[in-house]
Amino acid sequence: MRIYRLGNIEEKEKLLKALGVESTGISIMSKKMELFYFYISNLKTPAVNILKQDALSIGAELAVPSGVITCEKDKFDCILIGNKKQIEILSKKELTQPFGLKQLAKELYVFLESRKFPTQIMGIINANDDSFYAKSRFQADAAIIQIEKMIVDGADIIDIGAVSSRPGSEPANEHIELDHIRPICDVISREKLYEKVKFSIDSYTPSVVEYALKNGFTIINDITGASDKKIIHLAVKYNAKLCIMHMQGKPATMQSSPSYNNVILEIDEFFEERIKKCEALGLRKESIILDTGIGFGKKLAHNIELVKNLRHFERFGCEILLGASMKSMIDDIVSTPIDDRLAGTLAIHLKAIANGADIIRCHDVRSHKQAITIAKHIN
């Protein structure tokens, strides 16, 4: 007899089926093969003690501070650890408990709901002369050539914008932005390139967004996080998807001194408010994409925390977009010129996909297609 330890198993059901396990057993066992960790903040002390006992009774665990048992404070933070099956059982138990545990149970159920979206690559084209990565700048005919190349290289979406949002940049004139984007949109429409790939307009200017939507674009990438109701109305009118990005401050000042008490929970609250706003104006949640805004009003520690904990945002049931392509967080870890940051970009993006990202926004489509395909085969 020989034994070996299995690594990370992405396709649990497939592995069990290949082993010859019956379908009922696959459903039960696959839930036991996925471990969850939940950080719970400010839970009332009686609730912590109840949750601790209930967790232990089913084989799960609750990590708590030493002062809980003697009730040193009214509230404590704790970490719940268990597999999917255990968390399901525990949630049912807590539905009948007081001290806020009923609400906790409902929130745990949300995290357990399955969500599966295909991984998509979003190529970047900047139709301006001011974006931070010079090799992403293309205008007029050059932009069309780059679009054709990205299609061949395997892009699922191509994101085109005419306004730089790099740190320190200022908003562009609406007419200049439209002048840059119009000829590209016209060719996309005339040549029906939208039949080959999905197009996203990277803008928060209503007139620019509407021109793009009229010419075959189906996604709005709004770095202001749908702050303008007009953008939401346009998404509804043209049946387009809307990407809501989080940004602390504005591009001109966002990297001056970004600060958070808890970056995950603050962005979570932001998304919750914006999703409600969109739904109230008629946009279905299925049409919303969430982007935590790597590098937009975040320090390195914030960016790393977001990449590590992307799965938290799965609770909204929306596709999750992440874009760290060539960004300064790479240089913050390993001093690297912009043109040499592809390796760092791939490292971040592959980790992001493993942690729940569905759409990867990048400059080098071909390299990402290869890396993502190989990573999927390994997993």
- Provide the annotated active-site residues: 327, 361
- Beta strands 35-44 and 319-322, pairing class: unpaired
Which residues, other chains included, contact 136 with Cβ-Cβ below 8 Å and sequence gap of 6+? 124, 125, 126, 363
342 membership: H or E segment, kind and range: helix 342-354
| Full strand arrangement of the beta sheet holding 75-83 | 35-44, 75-83, 61-63
Distance of CA 346 to the CA centre of its chain: 16
Which residues, other chains included, contact 83 with Cβ-Cβ below 8 Å and sequence gap of 6+? 31, 32, 33, 34, 35, 36, 60
Q: Which of 100, 112, 109, 119 is nearest to 43 (CA)?
A: 100
How many Å from the N-terminal Cα to the C-terminal Cα in the chain?
26
- Beta strands 75-83 and 35-44, pairing class: antiparallel
